[in-house]
């Protein structure tokens, strides 16, 4: 049995305003992303340090972190956190 998966990629850029490597953009992909898919695109980035927001090209990325998010029905079940599991 296979779970539905969504792949995400966190892309780190050098901020054009403050010069720190604190500008981030996050995107999701239906399949596992490759570097050649990420580099040619333009992303909306936000700097965590100075608050700058703007477009950043994937070609200028200083780091890429990728992962997978599994979507299962367990997360969507509502249960009382104070009752022990049966």
Give a yes or no: residue 24 inside a domain.
yes
pTM of the predicted model as reported, rounded to 2 decimal places = 0.70
| CA–centroid distance for 13 within its chain | 13
Helices (H), 8-74: 35-38
Question: Does any domain span residue 6?
Answer: no
The answer to the question of residue 31 being in a domain is: yes
Instruction: Classify strands 23-29 and 61-71 as parallel, antiparallel or unpaired.
Output: unpaired
Q: Which domain holds residue 24?
A: 11-71
Number of domains in the chain: 1
pLDDT digit string, tens, across residues 1-54:
455 678 889 999 999 999 999 999 999 888 888 889 889 999 999 999 999 999
Contact 8, 70 (CB under 8 A): no
Task: Say how many residues make up the chain.
Answer: 86
Domain assignment present for 61? yes
Q: In this structure, what are the phi and psi dihedrals at residue 8, rounded to the nearest 5 degrees? A: -120, 160
């Amino acid at each position: 049995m296979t779970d539905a998966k969504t792949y995400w990629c966190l892309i780190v850029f050098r901020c054009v305003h403050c010069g720190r490597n604190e500008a981030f953009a996050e995107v999701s992909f239906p399949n596992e992303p490759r570097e050649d898919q990420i580099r040619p695109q333009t992303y909306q980035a936000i700097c965590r340090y100075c608050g700058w927001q703007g477009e950043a090209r994937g070609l200028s990325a200083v780091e890429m972190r990728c992962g997978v998010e599994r979507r299962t029905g367990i997360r969507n079940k509502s249960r009382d956190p104070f009752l022990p599991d049966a």
